[in-house]
Chain A
Amino acid sequence: MTQFAIDNSWLIPFMPALAFIMIVFFLRKAPQASALFSIACIFTSFVLALGVVGGILANPTTTEHSVTWFSMPGVSLEMGTLIDPISGMMVFVVTLIALLVQIYSIGYMENDPGYSTYFAYQSLFAMSMLGLVVSNNFLQMFVFWELVGLCSYLLIGFWFYKHSAREAAKKAFITNRVGDFGFLLGILFLQILFGTLNFTDLADIIPTYTNIGLLTVVALLVFAGPIGKSGQFPLHVWLPDAMEGPTPVSALIHAATMVVAGVYLIARAFFLFVAVPNALMVIAYVGGFTAFFAATIAITQNDIKRILAYSTLSQLGYMVMALGVGGLTASMFHLMTHAFFKALLFLGAGSVIHALHNKQDIWEMGGLAPKMPVTTKTFVIAALALAGIFPLAGFWSKDEILLAALSNGYTGLYLIGTFVAFLTAFYMFRLVFVAFYGEPNPENHPHESPKVMTVPLIVLACLSVVGGLVGMPWLKTNFGSYIYFGEAHHGYSLSIMLTSTLVALAGIYLAYLMYYKKTISAEAIAHRFQPIYKLLYNKYYIDEIYQWFINRVVDGAGRVAYWVDLYVVDGVVNGLANGTKWGGYLVRYLQTGQTQHYGMVLIAAVVVIVILLGLIDPSMGIFAGGGAK
């Protein structure tokens, strides 16, 4: 079974692809059947993914299968699958979360007119994401990378009749294009420099390449992809707006799977980044800065999904930073645990929004704890896990990252990371105390969500509790024995663990005092630090800066280009087009319909060709391009 799954890993992305095709062509009119078929397919993929994980746990090797896609002299492109511990872990996480989210969606999307379409998009997304994960070369990865972007666009704009949803979908797509452009340039460079895009081949060639300057440029271009997809500063602006999509979509795409594609790409191409330490350093600081920057914004936000979105940005920053400091194991470990508890947080938020009929402001919630016991309990577990409280999942992975930063000499990033841990605990429990334990809002009549929604919550809650234990540093074989770059590391530092736990507890306590006990007035603080508060509340005015840039610079350049297009390009093009058209009419008159005429042309042509052949000495090369033999 496990060998079958590893050898036929193409089936993992194929199953949801099948679901997509079936729904689009045959099941569109039958919503229930669409949902069931889609879930059945992703479940099959999940079982296969379990087989892959089982096989890898028994024997951690790399299995590659590929076929030639397109070949010509000099260039040969391939399609294939690469299964190793990293991609094995990813297919497991992606299929698991996708499966749970699809089950949850049965309840959440009930009565939505686009029910079938929703499941078709979900399947398309699962196919794209899994295809990306199992890719064995950059080009195939890029194809699926773009497909994932397309699905994100479709799902953010799923309620396209809402103006804000349309705008958010466009924003996500366009912002991602900026990063993807760099990524594509990087891929082209790799093809030109090394003649192959295969990960395994490149991993062998790149360490021997000596032009470090050029390689740094290539690595940074490739890194532009993750900056866009994984919402790193300065291309992070699309992710909070992406919350316009249905909440299960936010859980699947904008928390647990798609946005970590960038992190996965860096891990997959780690051989490239390791070869150029400067690029690695840039990655570390971009990640560290994003982690801090997003966490500070999260403190001031009021929309439940936006708080979680900024938290996601911050945690993605953590993962990128971990890669930058060389901690591939830590980063992948955090990717996995984060997928569990962040999906849980989003699904929990979805449960709340569902119960309150689309209210998203945490100040309008309050007092949900007694009415929605399951949602509340699982949400608190996830919040504790995210805050990094012992022994929940986040505790282990966060400490790994902090340890990696400190032991690789990035003391500054370690301090930032620890401070972010404090901020994380604070904003999460600000949310918990206000929304779940605050004054009940008399307008609300919350009720617990149906089983089909709460069961996925419970499953994820269990994983958030125990998911981190696989990475316990005291185990002889743990997460790091399978997923590592170079050599596996085992190490821990009790002082880091203690510090980060204390910091997280301090964050929770502060939130408790401010928002539950109210012994410290939040308003007073906000008032006292008015400028800073406004700066954070308005997300550092990044959106406004971009808007200004677009209005002034891009639109200005656009106007100039428009003038050129209108008077110069159009003139030439229209002239050419009219010329071509007239040429066409002229040519038509050659066709007279007279057979004798045609016969004459035929004979005349033979004569002309004979004369031509006689006149032209081929050595003069009038017609030959020079290379004819």
Chain B
Amino acid sequence: MDYTLLVPEIFVASLACLLLILGLIAPKGEKRGLVLFAIVGIIASIVVVAAHFNMFDGFLGRMYLVDSYASYFKVLFLVSVLLVCLTTTSYFKPLAGEGSEAYAIMLFATLGMMILVSAGELITLYVGMELMTISFYILTANLAGEDARSSEAGLKYLILGAVSSAVMLYGFTLLYGVTGTTLIHQIALHSDSSPAFWLGVVFALSGFGFKVAMVPFHMWAPEIYEGAPPPVTIFLAVASKAAGFAVFVRVFLTAFPYHADHWVPIIAFLAAITMILGNLAAIPQQNIKRMLAYSSIAQAGYLLVGLVAANQLGVKGILFYTMIYVFANVGAFAVTIVFNNVSESDDIADYSGLAQRSPLLAATLLICMLSMAGIPPLAGFAGKFYLFSAVIDQGFLWLAIIGLVMSMISVYYYLSVARVMYLGQVTDYSAIKVNGSMKLLLYGCMILSIILGVYPDALAQIANTAAKFMF
């Protein structure tokens, strides 16, 4: 056991505590510097995790695993939280209010995700997941004093999250009862096909499905996404979903691999309805955040396709896609933040003539949305290509066809926004100013969405290395 491998977790925990304390000490009006502090700390953590990418160790009898798979996701979470911190600079006051606790809580959520993805055992997993989720309840309701929608969203998320959490925990106890162990890799060895075991599997499925917003466990997502403070929405849509997938894949492929022929068809079916429902529901939306929320449900459907493949190629596809999904979604949501700050509107109709008012915002939104739609040569195309080709290899041609048809439908609602932005009547000619850190973020998301599409192989190789650990 090499405890230096736990440095990233310890580091993030300390950073979060330190931010809490600093928030109390720092004089009023000087709290802006805290975000810089957080950013530097996060970058340092990314470097540390990346340096340990090829290491493997299991702690306390494989209760806690540090492998490439976990490290890949840890980098993803840290990159997401970094990007979210960058967006807060144009959305600082409402989020952080009088204190800096929002940054600290975001880091606690990140810590939860890091524990979640490294957990080799169900109790650790649950603790990590709750740390993440409870942090999100607080973050979602962060605007409670000013915006009723925020408190409503926080409350709804709390209630539904608790229900789902309870069901999942019930599933874990059933699994423990049947197999006599909470260690994930041991469950595989002791499992049978008793009804209690299957109940446990389905209950766990519902818990993970809730986190990734899989239909029919997705109902919370559109409203929470709309009501939460925008940076929190980004964090929720990107990092929380990726964490959900990370643990979903790890548990189903390490704990239930011998029953794959039973759960794979179920997940295939759920993936299909997730893709169909997410895309269809996005079409009539007038509000861009709701539209993006449904689109992110649809994206969960594409990712599930990789789990249906249940092989290394599929996992590689999931890893690749979650990473590019981060950049595409952060880019798109960040545009809505800037736009909302200026016009206080999220209506797609108000985006009319955005290309004239700010070419950067319009271009970023367009590129990110086209990437999500999977238009070559953008990153989304490469991601979908890996996912669908993996599942076709396993004989699920019908699922890939549904995915392709639904991707085509998604082009419709993405391009409706583009039409409004580029061809719509310009009513307001005032240019929209974008501050430096936001510009950095927008350019970064746009350029990465292009580069990872034109040259996907570097990331794909890394994803492939990480995916090996699931088999």
Contact = CB atoms under 8 A, between A and B. Distances in A.
Interface of A: 67-73, 577, 580-581, 583-585, 587-588, 590-591, 593, 595, 597-599, 601-606, 609-610, 612-614, 616, 618, 621-629
Contact of A606 (B202, B219, B393): B202
Contacts of B163: 599, 602-603
A581 B284 contact: yes
Q: By DSSP majority rule, is chain A's interface helix, strand, loop, or mixed?
A: helix
Contacts of A627: 393-396
B418 interface: no
B100 interface: no
B455 interface: yes
Contacts of B310: 628-629
Given A70-B382, A581-B284, A602 B160 contact: yes
B217 interface: yes
Interface centre among B269, B393, B394, B457 (most CB of A within 10 A): B457
Contacts of A601: 216, 219
Contact of B457 (A71, A580, A614): A71
Contacts of A628: 260-261, 264-265, 310, 394-396
Contact of B261 (A580, A614, A624): A624
Given A69-B455, A595-B159, A605-B216, A616 B265 contact: yes
Contacts of B260: 628-629
A252 B328 CA distance: 41
Given A609-B205, A627-B396, A628-B260, A602 B219 contact: yes
B174 to A, nearest CB: 12
Given A70-B382, A609-B202, A610-B199, A599 B394 contact: no
23 contacts: A67-B457, A71-B457, A72-B313, A72-B385, A72-B389, A581-B283, A587-B280, A587-B281, A590-B219, A591-B281, A598-B160, A599-B160, A601-B216, A602-B216, A605-B217, A606-B203, A606-B206, A614-B195, A622-B265, A625-B396, A625-B398, A627-B394, A628-B264
B198 interface: yes
A588 B313 contact: no
B329 interface: no
A602 B206 contact: yes
A623 B266 contact: yes
A627 B399 CA distance: 13
Interface string B398-418: 110000000001001000000
A71 B266 CA distance: 30
A499 to B, nearest CB: 54
A625 B397 CA distance: 7
Contact of A583 (B222, B280, B394): B280
A72 B386 contact: yes
Contacts of B455: 69
B176 interface: no
Contacts of B394: 625, 627-629
B31 interface: no
B277 interface: yes
B268 interface: yes
Interface centre among B313, B386, B395 (most CB of A within 10 A): B395
Contacts of A626: 395
Interface string B263-279: 11110110000000100
Nearest to A72: B389
Contacts of A602: 160, 163-164, 167, 206, 210, 216-217, 219
Contact of B167 (A587, A593, A595, A606): A606
A389 B284 CA distance: 75
Nearest to A68: B457
Interface in B189-205: 195, 198-199, 202-203, 205
Interface string B198-230: 110011011000100000110110110000000
Given A595-B156, A602-B163, A610-B198, A625 B399 contact: yes
B282 interface: yes
A588 B284 contact: yes
Interface string B435-469: 00000000000000000000111001100000000
A585 B286 CA distance: 12
B261 A629 contact: yes
A616 B262 CA distance: 9
Nearest to A592: B219
B202 A584 contact: no
Contact of A585 (B205, B219, B284, B396): B284
Contacts of A616: 265
Nearest to B155: A595
Contacts of A72: 313, 385-386, 389
Contacts of B398: 625
A334 B220 CA distance: 72
Given A72-B313, A72-B389, A614-B195, 5 more contacts: A68-B461, A580-B409, A602-B206, A606-B202, A612-B266
Interface centre among B156, B160, B280, B396 (most CB of A within 10 A): B280
Contacts of A606: 167, 202-203, 206
A590 B266 CA distance: 22
Contacts of B222: 591
Contacts of B393: 73, 627
A610 B265 contact: no
Contact of A624 (B155, B268, B409, B461): B268
Contacts of A587: 277, 280-281
Contacts of A591: 219, 222-223, 281
B39 to A, nearest CB: 27
Given A612-B266, A618-B261, A588 B198 contact: no
Contacts of B385: 72
Nearest to A79: B455
Contacts of B412: 577, 580
A601 to B, nearest CB: 6
